[in-house]
Structure 1
């Protein structure tokens, strides 16, 4: 048995756990559609970044095994084999789900199932809405093969002259048509009287039926959908770039022409059409034949758009405004007196908006500084920062424009902040700024007081409704001093700081974690209680894995909640006997990063922006912040304890690398349901 689990193969295991939620009959039907959509979007990013990187290594002739023992070529073979099985399962679940939804009145129909009136309505819709935005693209000697955009849906059309009765492959001509992503993928069928019924036709099926209108004088031999996933990783020359924004915008344009990593085709496409596509796109063997609609990410919009079907989705939760701020006092007044912990999505993100708005409108606030990684469109926070700058406050926004797949959006709103008078810093050369922190500086009685918010998740109002994340409000002087120093490092030329509270990557976070683990090792060797509990999204840094193995062998009891990738192999005799790893995949995305160590008689608790991955520990600006208030520490320890006892949505990682559901108790414990009841842990 290998000592480590491969990162990419571990990721595939994670996406299988997401797929299990789509298959789980206890998950509401429309939420099962959401999970199917997430599987597809996850796989798109995996292919366009991780698999693309492996193919780059193969092209460069790189043959050295990684630390898990796989060469790029050997790993790629395993990835494609396992991914193919995953996609096959995904489409089987899709077909089963369509059958179950049909029983509830939600029906995907084919053209032949429409009535005469419905067909005429669809033909009018095609003529008025769809036809004007279609562009048929013939491929012949005078018209070269067009650029096929990344992750867009196309139709491959085989045509022949209509007067010919017998058609050979040599007689046929080839064309492609892009299915316009600007239009809804699903078209409601008119004439359905009941509010509890929703029949829909897929946009590509309508275009297929009307395709002859695009090619007059020809008859259609076949029409099949296809889709290309391209290398979407950016290759920024940050050191040589005179303007990082301009360099990034150039790379975004190049992304559209990245080399193909995967070709998806609708099952039944003729062999000669397949060969033509593969030759033109320079795809060698990575072709997925899907028995169903390509790009199932449309299911998320479908599920969200269906009205009158609330019994088929999770009951909505209304995040509560944190009780600590409900006594008529403003946020700054409360934080001046005591630290406050908030936990999303069970508690409302509005308190963060209020924190920034109060600071923006308070005449005694002199400065607001904030890191921004992924911010939602029309964010209240951006409006508040602009308002503060316009009123004369010093406003600094450290914007990470290199946040993958959000680059264009980040550039747009960063420029809006600049226009409002904010000082915008576009991250650091060679590093991504991933820390989540806000600093407010206020004049009070002849002195300055600093208010800080540190979080585990992005300042994004939308994801705060579906991600679990922790946030700490504090006016602690040591944390405030460290926050000031951190922003000075990010915006100026300050030398590394002698931190009072924080541990900051890329220089100080890994040493701090190692120091904490080493201290637990010494406790265990001395016969004292020694325990580590950590929650994160991924664990893939080899040195960190080795350090946890060392701690286990010394007798430290280690419990890890790792939602996604985990390269550590738990429960191996003599190596990791004392390590248990679980993954929780449920309604909300488990995103918070938390750490508890036994400390000197009283447990120490930290929250962090960082996963224990190489990129977080050595290539990003990340933050580990202690929780000083004993009451808040106890809250987070109780919350983690609830998660560790989950036996409904938790899966335990086995030594061989697979996962099994945790079913170790007669009493069901579903941690997210218990966490919603704040009285169970936040008292």
Structure 2
């Protein structure tokens, strides 16, 4: 059988739109509190922004190139664009249908969005004063005429298109642009609460600007003010032959701000004249225009969902717990605890503070000689950056590979890298031609019996902010062979060292792909020998054609394959004669499922791994990634239990059909409700209670 036939695959872009549909669906789930439902609408909007800036822009480039190109599913660029356009227009319609329902329910809770026209006389006087004081000084109108060319409008900025004419003299219709200054002013503005009312009312900044637009055009009559928003191509064009990678990224970032327009969002009240003008100036076609029946840029609700005094409209608080395994250890300090047994942490159920404390203690411990770390995405107020800088100032050898090509984090990473260099750290700005996506820290420490290496390896970024909402697994180890591999890995990144013979780690693009094939082939062999054979894998995306073909081959050999794929999945599960032994689930809930976990039965030996890599061509071919074997039996059992729980989930899980659609388990659930994320949180809290009851609180300072 030809497993790589295009009919055996789904289109990547369409499966992504289906993923965002699952995110958006959470805004309709009654068990989600109202403000959390609103948050899911904002998440879906944020996802679409990035999708257009990167993926749709790329498809449009392919269409324009007129190259004879077909994707993994055999679709031409034009076919892909047409499919995307149809699906996303429908999804945007769903967004605003759901939003309208949500606004009505929020109003019943005393949170109402109004227009300036709905204010009474006293409130309107307040608004007028607010406009003159806070808004008018900030806004600069931009005329559009032969002496004032259409201005360049930055990507994702919100603007008003204004049609006007003079009250006297020239009665021709003129055009202007009013930028909505939402980056510097709050876009949602609370109306002062009047005595005797509990209702809180809110105005959108663009509505206020529209109401007082005449103030910017004295002597003119305003005919129309229409909100619109432009999305531009934001993919970086990095020259892999450039001599200075950092300078090349900085240059590309400047180009990003001026990328070609790929989408126009326009309020439904727009006249044909405004629509035509904007399409012409932005060089867009009708399919690129999204008519919006409400406020543009629904990311605005991210800040609103945190409004004070409405905790009952949000999820109950869930706090990261202390590390259970560290808590059980009776070792006198952190280093002894790790040397005694590997330590596993599961975020966000267990606190990321454990990872930050590992770096902080390494920075201040006089016995630590060197710290080496890869950083892909870090928060702007990173405690890890501060600890690494302190380590360098304390005289330790600190080497950091800061990936300056991490999409949409490039500027922040460049800024963080500069801080590290200023403190005396040796900073590597990524590797030309590859993104370093691995998550690894190596601490070299002098001890009584010689030098010992301590290593932290993880599925997620060293980012304390996202660690509160992303699920990830990390392991601390003093395993000698992993320590040797870690040293070789950093030598590979920082110098001209050839790839060594790896003891434990699988490294992309060197041997990770081959290790995956090896594990799948072993299961195929066991199945053909009449033995039990199974693969359970959890990842963010599944796209690699060759890996999927291997999974199809395994399915036909009788291997039972269970996949948990949050986002893109181009594999077709449950196709007779191809993938009837493969099932795909997707979990979308309070936390973003980010961990990559793999279990191969191997005739009962059970090879278990964690990894920074999804099964995608970019991860296996174009990025520096790691896959780490989990050999400590308690950790094997713990990861198997996590994977099993995800497959039992019937509250936040979906099952994928062979045509790429999904069915929501909750719609047909019978019996006990199993909510994987909720149960994992409850397990972490139970472990904390267990530690307290046993009196085994950690005595390590800071933990």
Q: TM-score range by the shorter chain?
A: over 0.9
TM superposition shift of 1:192: 4.2
Contact (CA 8 Å) 1:118, 1:191: kept in 2 or not?
A: no
SS state at 2:579 partner: coil
Report the CA distance shift for 1:331/1:446 in structure 2 as closer, same or farther (over 3 A). Answer: closer
TM-score norm. by structure 1 comes to 0.97
Distance 1:655 1:681 in 2: 39
Residue by residue over 1:562-611, the C-alpha shift from the partner in whole angstroms, topping out at 9 and shown as x without a partner, is 00000000000010010000000001001000000112422121000001
Which aligned pairs between 1:30-109 and structure 2 lie closer than 5 A? 30-109=35-114
TM superposition shift of 1:129: 1.5
Distance 2:331 2:38 in 1: 42
Q: Which residue of 2 aligns with 1:157?
A: 162
Distance 2:644 2:33 in 1: 27
SS state at 1:570 partner: coil
Report the CA distance shift for 1:197/1:455 in structure 2 as closer, same or farther (over 3 A). Answer: farther
TM superposition shift of 1:542: 0.6
Q: Which residue of 2 aligns with 1:321?
A: 322
TM superposition shift of 1:621: 0.3
Distance 2:145 2:169 in 1: 19
Q: Which residue of 1 aligns with 2:592?
A: 589
Unaligned 5+ segments in structure 1 are none
Contact (CA 8 Å) 2:526, 2:602: kept in 1 or not?
A: no
Q: Which residue of 2 aligns with 1:216?
A: 218
Distance 1:220 1:51 in 2: 36
Distance 1:13 1:256 in 2: 29
* More displaced stretch, 56-65 vs 370-379: 56-65
Q: 2:624 aligns with which of 618, 621, 628?
A: 621
Distance 2:396 2:650 in 1: 50
Distance 1:99 1:287 in 2: 27
SS state at 2:112 partner: strand
Distance 2:420 2:178 in 1: 39
Residue by residue over 1:515-569, the C-alpha shift from the partner in whole angstroms, topping out at 9 and shown as x without a partner, is 0000000000000110100000000111111010000000000000000000000
Contact (CA 8 Å) 1:108, 1:200: kept in 2 or not?
A: yes
Q: Which residue of 1 aligns with 2:27?
A: 22
Contact (CA 8 Å) 2:190, 2:200: kept in 1 or not?
A: yes
Which aligned pairs between 1:282-681 and structure 2 lie closer than 5 A? 282-285=283-286, 286-304=288-306, 306-326=307-327, 329-662=332-665, 663=668, 665-678=670-683
2:196 aligned with 1:191: no
Q: 2:131 aligns with which of 126, 130, 135?
A: 126
Q: Which residue of 1 aligns with 2:693?
A: none
Residue by residue over 1:622-662, the C-alpha shift from the partner in whole angstroms, topping out at 9 and shown as x without a partner, is 00001111011101101110110001110000011100012
Distance 2:417 2:198 in 1: 44
* More displaced stretch, 10-19 vs 251-260: 251-260
Report the CA distance shift for 1:593/1:195 in structure 2 as closer, same or farther (over 3 A). Answer: farther
Distance 2:410 2:106 in 1: 37
Moved over 4 A (4+): 192-196, 679-683
Contact (CA 8 Å) 1:229, 1:263: kept in 2 or not?
A: yes
* More displaced stretch, 75-84 vs 244-253: 244-253
Residue by residue over 1:333-363, the C-alpha shift from the partner in whole angstroms, topping out at 9 and shown as x without a partner, is 2101110111010100000011001100000
TM-score norm. by structure 2 comes to 0.94
TM superposition shift of 1:681: 10
TM superposition shift of 1:509: 0.6
Q: Which residue of 2 aligns with 1:271?
A: 272
SS state at 1:21 partner: helix
Residue by residue over 1:109-137, the C-alpha shift from the partner in whole angstroms, topping out at 9 and shown as x without a partner, is 11111122222222222112211111100
Q: Which residue of 1 aligns with 2:235?
A: 233
Contact (CA 8 Å) 2:404, 2:413: kept in 1 or not?
A: yes
SS state at 2:366 partner: coil
TM superposition shift of 1:164: 6.6
Distance 1:680 1:652 in 2: 29
Distance 2:566 2:325 in 1: 30
Distance 1:130 1:26 in 2: 39
Distance 2:75 2:350 in 1: 44
Distance 1:194 1:454 in 2: 57
Q: Which residue of 2 aligns with 1:261?
A: 262
* More displaced stretch, 596-605 vs 77-86: 596-605
Unaligned 5+ segments in structure 2 are 1-5, 691-703
Distance 2:332 2:225 in 1: 64
Report the CA distance shift for 1:353/1:329 in structure 2 as closer, same or farther (over 3 A). Answer: farther
Contact (CA 8 Å) 1:638, 1:681: kept in 2 or not?
A: no
* More displaced stretch, 171-180 vs 660-669: 660-669
Distance 2:558 2:603 in 1: 17
Q: 1:10 aligns with which of 15, 19, 33?
A: 15
Distance 2:161 2:503 in 1: 62
Q: Which residue of 1 aligns with 2:246?
A: 245
Distance 1:435 1:50 in 2: 23
SS state at 1:440 partner: strand
Distance 1:562 1:407 in 2: 27
Contact (CA 8 Å) 1:510, 1:617: kept in 2 or not?
A: yes
SS state at 2:525 partner: helix
TM superposition shift of 1:665: 4.0
Distance 1:613 1:679 in 2: 32
SS state at 2:438 partner: coil
Report the CA distance shift for 1:492/1:193 in structure 2 as closer, same or farther (over 3 A). Answer: farther
Q: 1:114 aligns with which of 119, 123, 130?
A: 119
Distance 1:195 1:535 in 2: 50
Report the CA distance shift for 1:50/1:330 in structure 2 as closer, same or farther (over 3 A). Answer: same
Q: 1:203 aligns with which of 194, 201, 205?
A: 205
SS state at 1:190 partner: coil
Distance 2:438 2:22 in 1: 28
* More displaced stretch, 610-619 vs 185-194: 185-194
Contact (CA 8 Å) 1:674, 1:680: kept in 2 or not?
A: no
TM superposition shift of 1:198: 2.6
SS state at 1:288 partner: strand
Distance 1:75 1:346 in 2: 39
Contact (CA 8 Å) 1:153, 1:226: kept in 2 or not?
A: yes
Distance 1:144 1:391 in 2: 56
SS state at 2:384 partner: helix
Report the CA distance shift for 1:474/1:192 in structure 2 as closer, same or farther (over 3 A). Answer: farther
SS state at 2:82 partner: helix
SS state at 2:136 partner: helix
Contact (CA 8 Å) 2:123, 2:191: kept in 1 or not?
A: yes
